[in-house]
Amino acid sequence: MITENELRALVGHRFPGGHYRIAHWENWLLTDCTGRAPMPDDLAHPVVLFHAPILGAGTSIAELFRLGQASGAGSVGLESYDWEYFEPLREDVEYRVEGSIIEAERTVNDIGNIVDRVAFQIEMYDGEMLAARVTNRWKFRRELLHADTR
| Binding residues vs another protein (CB under 8 A) | 26, 29-30, 32-36, 39-41, 43, 45-47, 50-51, 55, 60-62, 65, 73-74, 76-85, 88, 147, 149-150
Smallest distance from the beta carbon of 53 to another protein, in angstroms?
Answer: 12
Query: Toward another protein, which CB reaches closer, 8 or 149?
Result: 149
Residue 79 CB neighbours (<10 A) = 12
Smallest distance from the beta carbon of 10 to another protein, in angstroms?
Answer: 19
Query: Toward another protein, which CB reaches closer, 4 or 63?
Result: 63
Residue 67 CB neighbours (<10 A) = 19
Query: Toward another protein, which CB reaches closer, 50 or 93?
Result: 50
Distance CA 47, CA 93 (A): 16
**Phi, psi values for residue 125, rounded to 5°:** -115, 140
Smallest distance from the beta carbon of 148 to another protein, in angstroms?
Answer: 9
Q: Is 140 helix (H, G, I), strand (E, B) or coil?
A: strand
The three-state DSSP-derived secondary structure of 99-127 is EEEEEEEEEECCCCCEEEEEEEEEEEEEC
Smallest distance from the beta carbon of 1 to another protein, in angstroms?
Answer: 17
